[in-house]
Amino acid sequence: MIFDEMNDIRSRLCDEESKKIFDARLQLAVDNDYNAFFHNIKGNKCFCQSSELETSETFEDFFRKNKNKKIIIYGAGYVGRMNQDILEACGYAVFAYGDSNSQSWGNEIHGIPVLSDMEIAKLKNEAVFIVSGREASAIGIYRKLLYLMHIDLEQIYVPRFGVLLAVCGQQYFDFFDPVPGEVFVDAGAYNGQTSVEFTKWCPDYKNIYLFEADRKEKIAIEESMKNAGITKYHLFMKGVSDHSKSSVFCEDYTNMSGGRVSADGSGRVTVPLISLDEAINEKVTFIKMDIEGEERNALWGGEKLIKTYKPRLAVCVYHKTDDFFKIPELILKLNNEYKMAMRHYSSSDNETVLYAW
């Protein structure tokens, strides 16, 4: 029965790119293989149009400072192979691997040689090194490169989350064309930058509604609005759900950014939640949702708006394993006239967005 439901949703997707992303998320739900997921989606035209990697100092900036140097991935395990895939998909040629395990020296990985430490020592002035390992392993690699192999600090790149992260496209805004007088709902506003991007995408907008449950972001949101000269907005320091209530909230959630409603009561603070139908009393044209797994409840909470105005939707469908078919299924229950598509925006399993219009 569940596969019949998934096939029905898949058939409603409007293009082959969307279906390929849907299939990749289904495979990920079955085997939990993140590297395979990347291979399944990296051929999409929506992926790797840009070679922007990382979020603090981008790999582009790092590599620009080390112009014409060879790229050596230090760490020939699973993480290293993922980094090779991501680099090559973004147009960077990997010269070699290094590894602390001497038994791997002299082997090849995807056609790339694994060099010994002695061979690497001869190249250390003409190469950059990408630390490829998780947590303690990454720390050990970094210390070895810096203190034992005497690699210059400026030639070592440590990915922020262990694995390089490639991003592309203008998430939420690359699928639709703006219309004059947009009324935008930013559910999961974080620091307000998505709403700033919205005003660049649609300068001739009417109103913005921002919802953010993490009270620490209030100052950042207000500063973002002020710096961008945005005055036509309403800020709700509340989460979005199916009705007004209070919920335990994890402000210290560390999955890239933002907080989430706690399913097990382990959060640190209690925050108010509100439904879109309760908060908004005008025609809405565009709803964006990225609220760490609360999307389904929030859609139910916007039932009246969705049924009455049929706003365009950009909803994240990756926070829960079955979001990729349960969320479109729910949207069609609310309004069966919606057309749908999917796009994916990163080299990780995060940032899959369902567009409905």
Q: Quick one: 11 and 158 in the same domain?
A: no
Using only C-alpha atoms, what is the Rg of the chain?
A: 22
d(CA 41, CA 27): 11
136 occurs within a structural domain: yes
d(CA 265, CA 145): 43
Q: Quick one: 217 and 154 in the same domain?
A: no
Q: Quick one: 194 and 122 in the same domain?
A: no
Q: Quick one: 162 and 175 in the same domain?
A: no
Number of domains in the chain: 2
d(CA 353, CA 25): 12
Secondary structure class of 52 (helix, strand, coil): strand
Per-residue CA distances from 130 to 72, 82, 84, 260, 308 (Å)? 6, 12, 10, 32, 52
Instruction: Work out the pLDDT band at 42, boundaries 50, 70, 90.
Output: confident
Q: Average pLDDT, whole number, for the chain?
A: 91
Q: Quick one: 129 and 197 in the same domain?
A: no
What φ, ψ does residue 312 adopt, rounded to 5°?
A: -65, 145
Print the domain residue range for 302: 2-40+170-356
pLDDT at 244 over 80: yes
Which among 340, 356, 352, 355 is positioned nearest to 41, based on CA atoms?
352
Q: Quick one: 219 and 294 in the same domain?
A: yes
Residue range 302-316: mean pLDDT, rounded: 98
What DSSP character marks residue 218?
H
What φ, ψ does residue 53 adopt, rounded to 5°?
A: -120, 140
d(CA 273, CA 156): 44
Q: Quick one: 82 and 64 in the same domain?
A: yes
128 occurs within a structural domain: yes
Assign residue 258 the CATH number of its domain.
3.40.50.150
Which among 15, 24, 103 is positioned nearest to 340, based on CA atoms?
15
Placement of tokens 């439904």 in the chain: 275
Domain boundary among 137, 166, 195: 166
Q: Quick one: 159 and 175 in the same domain?
A: no
Which among 304, 284, 289 is positioned nearest to 179, based on CA atoms?
284
Assign residue 161 the CATH number of its domain.
3.40.50.720
Residue range 162-183: mean pLDDT, rounded: 92
pTM: 0.86
46 occurs within a structural domain: no
Instruction: Work out the pLDDT band at 103, boundaries 50, 70, 90.
Output: very high
d(CA 237, CA 138): 37
47 occurs within a structural domain: no
Residue range 331-353: mean pLDDT, rounded: 95
130 occurs within a structural domain: yes
H runs (alpha helix) in 32-163: 34-41, 59-65, 78-89, 117-123, 136-143
* 155-169, 173-187, 277-291: least confident range: 155-169
Q: Quick one: 290 and 181 in the same domain?
A: yes
pLDDT at 160 over 50: yes
262 occurs within a structural domain: yes
What φ, ψ does residue 243 adopt, rounded to 5°?
A: -165, 170
Domain boundary among 150, 166, 182: 166
Domain boundary among 113, 132, 166: 166
216-239 residue pLDDT tens: 999 999 999 999 999 999 999 999
pLDDT at 351 over 80: yes
Q: Quick one: 110 and 200 in the same domain?
A: no
257-308 residue pLDDT tens: 455 555 555 556 788 999 999 999 999 999 999 999 999 999 999 999 999 9
